[in-house]
Structure 1
Amino acid sequence: MAFQLDKEWRLQPIKGATGQTFMGIRATERVFIKRNTSPLLAALSKEGIAPKLVWTKRTVNGDILTAQEWLDGRVLKAEEIGQRNDVVDVLYHLHHSYVLKNMLEKIGGQIKTPMMMMKEYGDRLPEELKKNKYLARVYQYLQNNIPEYSTHNYMVVHGDVNHRNWLVSNNYLYLVDWDSVMVADPALDLGMLLGHYVPKKSWNKWLLAYGMQPSQEALDRIQWYAIFNFLQETLRHYQIGERREMNAEILRLKQALGY
């Protein structure tokens, strides 16, 4: 462990994490500690989108530790995502908060366009996946259909609305793990969520509940990000050696969106 806290704190690594998250224990107190997370966390906590921030400390080697209240709860199951109204409410709140947008821009938060995302993806793509004809065809489709959406309309997006990042505790829902937060088209989060968790025939109904008119332009943008997220997940599984999960992701892309 590359950092130290006050002697009264005991740090317990959280199983399955990447060495960046811990349970902090002091007497009967427990907190969730993360190293070098987004500086926006305090504002997200104040808005009620993320769990309450307890304290922030800088270590001797320059790391920033944040402690949030430890919540006894559970992550949402995949099949719950498309059914819960509070998922809609949390995303609407996030995507319409100019307070969060202004704050993230002031602290140097990244603005990400689809063109930038495609370049980052392409730069990380290994030869084996480049040679996959199906993935190459999907990638070319995305290149040819990059959505046009004014950056003036960009807002704060979470960037990874996987069901594992939704925590429910005492009937209150939070989004956690803000390492991918950015200023971007809200369709990024919507595409990730709808593409993986909501049947396409139900997209219009879900979007109306969210407060968006499901115009053809909006649906096209959301579908673009949904497809892109499938490619990102395929690459992620490949990078950590999960070939079976990678192939399952490709199959889900074919089934969910007809590609």
Structure 2
Amino acid sequence: MITTDKDLTLKPLMGKSGQAFMGEYPNGERVFVKLNTTPILAALAKEQITPQLLWAKRTAGGDMMSAQEWLNGRLLNKADMNSKQIAQILLQLHRSKALVNQLLQLNYSIENPFELLQDWDRNAPMQLRQNTYLQSIVTELKKNLPDFNPELATIVHGDVRHSNWVITTSGLVYLVDWDSVRLTDRMYDVAHILSHYIPYSRWAEWLSYYGYKNNDLVKKKIYWYGQLSYLSQILKFYEGYDMEHVNREIYELRQFRNLF
């Protein structure tokens, strides 16, 4: 296995904002190359949450380039998200104190629910901030902030949509694309999975497998963080000029709110 960028040819990967590449060596060996990804990639790979890190170096232009093993497999689809492996991987991630400490050492701050909303407001373009329906939800969420104990904050991936999960031909599942990693309530990830992929009738089963109690307090958190997950996806798709998915997320947000 090659552990250098010597003679490496890069081919941009679609849909990755110019930051991700397929790297190929003269002998045909391939690697996945990413610019400026999270500095905790090595630790995530050590926990087998993400593919093995082969090497990392700073380019002449100042970017940090990292190379991971190239996986033979495919991205998960929506139906795959029912897999118990998803809950297992998230639970392993959320329980890792070492990853939390590493992010704190890198000056990541613990974000409470209000700060998460502030971050959305700060990054949302005028067109989204002026959308009456979306703003009514943001206002409602600010008025109904869930309880938050910073001492219980965990590392969260921050964007656990199905296209950020990979399954190999041997059946191993990995979580990839760590550009949205943050420190906050684990419900940030959990509610995204439940709101977008798990039928309401199976929430209790999923929560039990993950290790959560299925009570009113948990449901209130799912309601709050689930709506935030839709707002976050709407913003990501809008930034990618994908209005079809923006409108789909808004429609599904309305459906989600009708569950409560």
- When normalised by structure 2's length, the TM-score is 0.92
Q: Distance in 1 between matches of 2:185 and 2:209?
A: 19
Question: 2 CA distance for matches of 1:68 and 1:33?
Answer: 6
Q: Report the alpha carbon displacement of residue 221 of structure 1 after superposing the two structures with TM.
A: 1.4
Structure 1 residue 240: Cα displacement: 3.2
Query: 1:222 and 1:253 mapped to 2: Cα distance?
Result: 13
Partner of 1:166: 165
Gaps of 5+ in 2: none
Q: Evaluate the alpha carbon distance shift between residue 126 and residue 12 of structure 1 in structure 2; reply closer, same or farther with a 3 A threshold.
A: closer
Distance 2:239 2:102 in 1: 33
How far did 1:128 drift? 3.3
User: Which residue number in structure 1 is paired with residue 244 of structure 2?
Assistant: 244
Give the AA of the match of 1:163.
Answer: H
1:156 matched to 2:139: no
Aligned to 1:48: 48
Say if 1:129 and 1:106 are closer, same or farther in 2 by CA, change over 3 A.
closer
Aligned residues: 254
Q: Give secondary structure in 2 for the equivalent of 1:50.
A: coil
* In 2: Cα distance, 1:103 partner to 1:64 partner: 18
* RMSD, aligned CA: 1.7
Instruction: Give the letter for the 1:13 counterpart.
Output: P
**Counterparts of 1:55 and 1:70, CA distance in 2:** 13
Match in the other structure for 2:228: 228
1:88 aligns with 2:87: yes
- Residue 157 of structure 1 deviates from its aligned partner by 0.6
- Checking the alignment, whether the CA contact within 8 Å between 1:238 and 1:246 is kept in structure 2 is yes
Letter in 1 for 2:32: F
Matched, 1:188 2:184: no
Unaligned runs of 5+ in 1: none
2:91 is aligned with what amino acid? Y
Aligned position for 1:14: 13
Correspondence 1:207 to 2:207 = yes
- The aligned residue for residue 132 of structure 2 is 133
Distance 1:247 1:163 in 2: 18
Distance 1:132 1:14, change over 3 A: closer
- Distance in structure 1 (CA, Å) of the matches to 2:215 and 2:31: 44
**Which residue is 1:30 aligned to?**
30
- Compute the displacement of 1:7 (Å): 4.8
In structure 2, the residue matched to 1:116 is: 115
- Is contact 1:195-1:257 (8 Å) kept? no
